[in-house]
Structure 1
Amino acid sequence: MISRLNVVMVAVCLGGWMTSFVAAQSANQSQSGTQQIPQDFSAVDTSHLMQSPDPVPLEKERIFPNLKFQRPVEVTSPEDGTNRLFVVEQEGTIRVFEYRDDVENAELFLDLHDVTLRKGNEEGLLGLAFHPKFQENGQFFVYYSTQPRTSVVSRFTVSKDNPNQADRQSEEIVFKLDQPFSNHNGGSIRFGPDGYLYVGLGDGGDAHDPFANGQNLETLLGSILRIDVDRKDKGRGYAIPQDNPFVEREDARGEIWAYGLRNPWRISFDRENGDLWTGDVGQNRFEEVNRIVKGGNYGWNKREGMHSFEPQSPAKETELIDPLAEYFRNEGISVTGGVVYRGPTLKEYDGAYFYADYVSGNVWDLRADGNTTTSNRRVAETGLQISAFGEDQNGEMLLCSFDGHLYRLTKRDIDFKAAKKNFPQKLSETGLFDSVAKNIPAQGVIPYELNMPFWSDYTVKDRYVALPKDKSVVYHERDQWEFPVGTVFVKTFWMHQDRAQLEDPRRLETRLLVHSPDGWQGYTYVYHDDQSEATLLEGSALKPLPIKTAEGSFEQRYYFPSRSDCMACHTKEAGFVLGLNSRQMNHPLDYHGQRENQLAMLNRLNVFTQPLSNNAEEIERFPEWQFGNLDRSNDPQHVESALETPQGETTALARAWLDVNCAVCHRPDGIAPGKRHLQFHADLAKMNLLNQQPLQGQMTPPGGTVVKPGQPYLSELLIRAAHRGVRQMPPLASNVADPRGIEVLRKWIEQMEQPTE
């Protein structure tokens, strides 16, 4: 039955780079005795990898070190001369504090958590705007989600007795809007220079805009609204300005200022010229930045970015407005709209629009002359989950991050030309190999393997780690280990051209995960056809691979990830280093005729800050998955070369597979919606899987849930893991589903019993 879930290979054309894939002799020519399990620790000089091949001019600086917030989605200040900042927490609270770096406490200004709906990742308390006459009338407005699934804009006033506390009883609902789904809530509200309130609304959610709200002027969804909150029309909590673009149309809502938006995440006005900007989150391919004009149609769901959303039915309407910037998913996953910089510190950036990607942490500055973009540069690599930009009352730019802290951007003290020139452009220049052509690592580079390798479209991996001088690894028996600055992980991907016999493995790429002084960075080196060298990849690439199976031959499209792709998974919340933990490393390393448990090996090499207190037999381990590690044992019968369904206890195999392939995002404080918890030790009842409704669309038939115990084909978890395309899991860098993993998940769900009440 699992054949019904077989993958349709996704062909994606990334313009610019495509090479032929020709047969060549395997480069795995290392001889027994030239590679050995190390007997003593030897530090590796990784200093030439500590800079960046694309140095950026700005870096993050944490501010207010004594404060921490829960999922901050807004930082702003009223123009009342009080030097205060207000931070909106998505769970339903607003906090206020004096704008000074040593402030120690953020007072609770407003608490709406009892009425705020936070079931979906994009629901909650999402927006705050102070009335232009706040200093006189004490009025402010908030946007929040509530039950039943509704978006609310309400007016509040400040307490008469305490300027740092809102009067909860003063709430006056301005408008309410039913939401069909949990995502695409928009939620940003801003007063324009004209004194009207602008409200950003998504298309209502789910994939593909199923109700076509983006192009429907008879609904408020998928639009930016412009309303007058100082007057009221009959039957409304607000008035519609008579110069709104669609006031006179019977087939349109008069509140709409602009439309054709999918999920405008953060809108802002240029405080100097009044221009309205937004980032609009894309679906599968393109994120975009728009400057909003009266009556503008920004194309969703006819277009995504500048491209037809459905290639088979291209959008040719000339009235659609192009974004001023777009980026493909190799640069990031979810755009965060920002602000036009008008602050006093970064003078050379005056007039530039800053925006970011929530997943990659990259920040860009954009300049435009009318409808023409004149520059669009990546200016910072923060590694943060940037949820919002804000301004203080002087126009200085601030950043909210889901690590709970606030940041600013500052200039880096770096010689940019020297840094770019000195970064290795070839793998042989990294110093990590004695011979790239023969795949012989340098002295001191430590080999390792994993019990449960991450699925990467049938590749097997050759892994090493290089540690710097006088540095040690902090060991944790359950949590991720901590690695010092200067650490470099080396992972070479091989593909068997003959998948029936698992013969003729061939190197495709070597990825480096580098712990530099600026944080963790990922780099991809792609091998030449003759396997003699690998070159640093700019951006991402797709390459066809000829594959032979028992059923015949075909071409498999293989994806080489960009640097942003790498860091989308190697996140702070996941500990950056994904594979090296005790459950993965408690594994016998078979290496060119030698064999040793890896925990015992690393303990013997004294790489840990403290010697291990337990023997390897006493430490938990994942079950051996039996595929995914390159066979370095010189044993033709080596078990890790097997493609058969792995042997072992089904629950342990399934939970380990989910931990490795899914829990990077689906974990406490992870970026995925729904609060799923797929880590190995999570209690099944607390994983938020059983009989839960799927988010962001449903692929199972009616009655399906995330996991339906005993019914795998009504379980969204299984269907999405087995699917490639929209809503596939994992979402990045894979064109082929894992058939062995799918079979294990199927058995696990099939054996599962419904929980009793």
Structure 2
Amino acid sequence: MKKVIKRVSVLFLVIGTLYCVQSCKNKNENSNSDYQSVADFAFKEKLSDYGFFIGKLKDLKSNEGILSYKLNSALFTDYALKDRFIVVPKGTKMKYTSSGVLDFPNGTILIKNFAYTNTDHQKIMIETRLLAKNPKDKKWYVMNYLWNKEQTDAVKHISGANIPITLLDEENNIVSTTYKVPNTNDCKRCHVNQAVLTPIGPKAMNLNNVVSGENQLGKWADSGYLQGLPEITKVPVLPNWEDEDTYDLNQRARAYLDINCAHCHTKGGDAFNTGLFLEYGQNEKSVVGIMKEPVSAGGGANGLNFDIVPGNASESILYNRMDSTVPGTAMPELGRSVKHKEGIKLIHDWIQSMK
């Protein structure tokens, strides 16, 4: 009997050893498990350490279980090319709430990669930003990763950076500028509402679009990544500000202001004290800026009297601040060093169309 027990004990010891060896081997061969664990979250030193992508890192070929996503209207950042992904931990789902907001599960990581097109029409990586929901305190935290010159990896970078670049804009015009990688506190200024860090872009209405012939939110629901989604026709839509065929001038301009300005110009946002609120659903004319006197613009108003003067863009503070790159005047204050010609024209035409 003792021999039998001894043999069984040895057998279990061997099985346990083999399991441990195989587990360690699997972890080394595929770090996929790292990003899917919600325990003991901490930002890693290098982007490659997470296992988000397979193959060459710069190709951004997402690993299994990582969702790429597309926005209807996106924030302008010096004509940067942006690739966006959501990491949803295994065994969890995003939730669509009655207010139309997505509730992301603990352990979620939002990935946003920034790149530019150089004069040789090559895609050059600049930075990758992570917004992670820590399962311990259920709060969001941000971290930036700066890509190396070899384009092989990105390293954790807290203090920000100024990077001289020469890029091609949407019309293939050559633009030379100094791209500003924000420090983590800069990121917080835009992402904080009511003293709570929160995502900006991936709102349900900004994700309600068709990708490869299928509704993006509907696909996530069908694939088990999203629960509580109502009939898609009942989900609000933020217009694509570039889509002139589907949306009118007012809808496009308001969508542009929502994604580029409303994260600060909203109740609880960084620009709350201005009284200028630019959410897409905001209907009160004075609150949107029409014939509204500035509260705290200071020298940024350049002597002008109203945020928006109907039919007169040149006399409107909002338009003039968008059409500037001078620190203290330019709006948005962060995230750009060059003028967004297409966005400026849109807001100009919108103001001119007002009666």
Match for residue 614 of structure 1?
231
Does structure 2 conserve the Cα–Cα contact (< 8 Å) formed by 1:448 and 1:464?
yes
Structure 2 residue 152 is matched with structure 1 residue 535: no
Distance 2:217 2:147 in 1: 31
Instruction: Map residues 186-585 of structure 1 onto 2, 5 A cutoff.
Output: 423-435=43-55, 436-476=57-97, 479-498=100-119, 503-516=121-134, 517-518=136-137, 519-548=139-168, 553=174, 555-573=176-194, 576-585=198-207
SS in 2 for 1:743: helix
Q: CA RMSD in A?
A: 2.7
Name the aligned partner's letter for residue 250 of structure 2.
T
Q: Tell me how far apart the structure 2 counterparts of residues 510 and 696 of structure 1 sit (CA, whole Å).
A: 32
The CA distance in 2 between the partners of 1:523 and 1:46, in whole Å, is: 18
Quote how far apart the aligned CAs of 1:733 are.
2.8
Q: What secondary structure sits across from 1:544 in the alignment?
A: strand
TM-score of the two chains, using structure 2 as the length reference: 0.80
For the residues of structure 1 that align with 2:74 and 2:190, how far apart are their CA atoms? 14
Does 1:734 pair with 2:354? no
Q: Note the residue ranges of structure 1 that are not aligned, 5 or more in a row.
A: 1-41, 52-422, 627-638, 640-644
Alignment counterpart, residue 316 of structure 2, candidates 707, 712, 715: 715
Letter in 1 for 2:238: F
Q: Which residue of 2 aligns with 1:623?
A: 239
1:750 paired with 2:341, answer: no
CA contact (8 A) 2:204 2:236 kept: yes
**Residue 699 of structure 1 contacts residue 719 of structure 1 at CA under 8 Å; is this kept in 2?**
no
Q: State the Cα distance separating 1:480 from its structure 2 match.
A: 3.0
- 1:548/1:489 CA distance change after superposition, 3 Å: closer
Answer whether contact 1:583 1:620 (CA < 8 A) is retained.
yes
The 1:699/1:650 distance shift into structure 2, 3 A limit, reads same
Give the partner amino acid of 2:231.
N
Whether the aligned pair in 1 keeps the contact of 2:241 and 2:251 (CA below 8 Å) is no
Distance (Å, rounded) in 1 between the aligned partners of 2:96 and 2:82: 24
Q: Which runs of 5+ in 2 are unaligned?
A: 1-32
1:683 is aligned to 283
Over residues 358-415 of structure 1, what are the superposed CA-to-partner deviations in whole Å (9 max), with x where a residue is unaligned?
A: xxxxxxxxxxxxxxxxxxxxxxxxxxxxxxxxxxxxxxxxxxxxxxxxxxxxxxxxxx
Q: Distance in 1 between matches of 2:131 and 2:124?
A: 21
CA, structure 1 residues 554+701, in 2 after alignment: closer, same or farther (shift >3 Å)?
closer
Q: Which has the greater radius of gyration?
A: 1
Counterpart of 1:598 (choices 183, 199, 216) is: 216
Determine helix, strand or coil for the equivalent of 2:59.
coil
Deviation track 1:234-273 (CA, whole Å, cap 9, x = no partner) reads xxxxxxxxxxxxxxxxxxxxxxxxxxxxxxxxxxxxxxxx
2:330 counterpart SS class? coil
The aligned residue for residue 658 of structure 1 is: 257
Compute the displacement of 1:483 (Å): 1.1
Give the secondary-structure state (helix, strand or coil) at the position aligned to 1:687.
helix
- Distance in 2, matches of 1:707 and 1:623, equals 22
Q: Going by fraction, where is helix more abundant, 1 or 2?
A: 2
CA distance in 1, matches of 2:303, 2:145: 45
Spell out, residue by residue over 1:553-585, the C-alpha distance to the aligned partner (whole angstroms, 9 max, x if none): 553211111111222111134871111222211
In structure 2, what residue type is equivalent to 1:752?
Answer: M
Secondary structure, counterpart of 2:226 in structure 1: coil
5 Å matches for 1:80-91?
A: none
Please report how far the alpha carbon of residue 530 of structure 1 lies from its aligned counterpart in structure 2 after TM superposition.
2.1
CA distance in 2: counterparts of 1:572 and 1:471, whole angstroms: 25
Match of 1:733, as an amino acid? G
Percentage identity across paired residues of the two chains: 26
SS in 2 for 1:744: helix
Structure 1 residues 526 and 575: CA distance shift in structure 2, 3 A: closer
Letter of the structure 2 residue corresponding to residue 713 of structure 1: S
Check the 8 A contact 2:311/2:351 in 1, yes or no: yes
Distance 1:510 1:689, change over 3 A: same
Structure 1 residue 601 displacement after superposition:
1.0
Residue correspondences, number: 315
Distance 1:486 1:576 in 2: 14
Cα distance in 1 between the residues matched to 2:35 and 2:302: 55
Superposed CA deviations along residues 67-121 of structure 1, whole A, max 9, x for unmatched, are: xxxxxxxxxxxxxxxxxxxxxxxxxxxxxxxxxxxxxxxxxxxxxxxxxxxxxxx
Helix, strand or coil at the partner of 1:745? helix
* Cα separation, partners in 2 of 1:722 and 1:478, compared to 1, 3 Å: farther
- 2:333 and 2:40 mapped to 1: Cα distance? 29
Tell me the distance in 2 between the aligned counterparts of 1:654 and 1:425: 40
Amino acid at match of 1:584: N
Q: Distance in 1 between matches of 2:40 and 2:174?
A: 40
The 3-state SS of whatever aligns with 1:657 is helix
**Per the alignment, do residues 551 and 624 of structure 1 end up closer, same or farther by CA in structure 2, a change over 3 Å counting?**
closer
Partners of 2:152 and 2:267 in 1: CA distance:
43
User: 1 CA distance for matches of 2:207 and 2:167?
Assistant: 31
Residue type at the aligned position of 2:316: S
Q: Which residue in the other structure is 2:25 paired with?
A: none
Q: Confirm or deny: 8 A CA contact 2:117 2:123 kept in the other structure.
A: yes
CA distance in structure 2 between the aligned counterparts of 1:486 and 1:441, rounded to whole angstroms:
17
Structure 1, residues 585-632: CA drift from partner, whole Å, max 9, x if none?
111224xxxx4220111111222342x2213x4433222245xxxxxx
The separation in 1 between residues aligned to 2:248 and 2:177, in whole angstroms, is 32
In structure 2, relative to structure 1, the CA distance for the partners of 1:658 and 1:690 (3 Å cut) is same
**Offset of 1:438 from its aligned partner?**
3.2
Partner-residue secondary structure (3-state), 1:464? strand
1:304 maps to what in 2? none
Cα distance change of structure 1 residues 562 and 48 upon mapping to structure 2, 3 Å threshold: farther
- Offset from partner CA, 1:528-547 (integer Å, 9 cap, x none): 22211111113100101123
Deviation, structure 1 residue 699: 4.9
Q: Tell me if structure 1 keeps the 8 A contact 2:146–2:156.
A: yes
Question: In 2, distance between residues paired with 1:459 and 1:737?
Answer: 13
TM-score when normalising by structure 1: 0.39
For the residues of structure 2 that align with 1:535 and 1:48, how far apart are their CA atoms? 22
1:692 CA drift (Å): 1.7
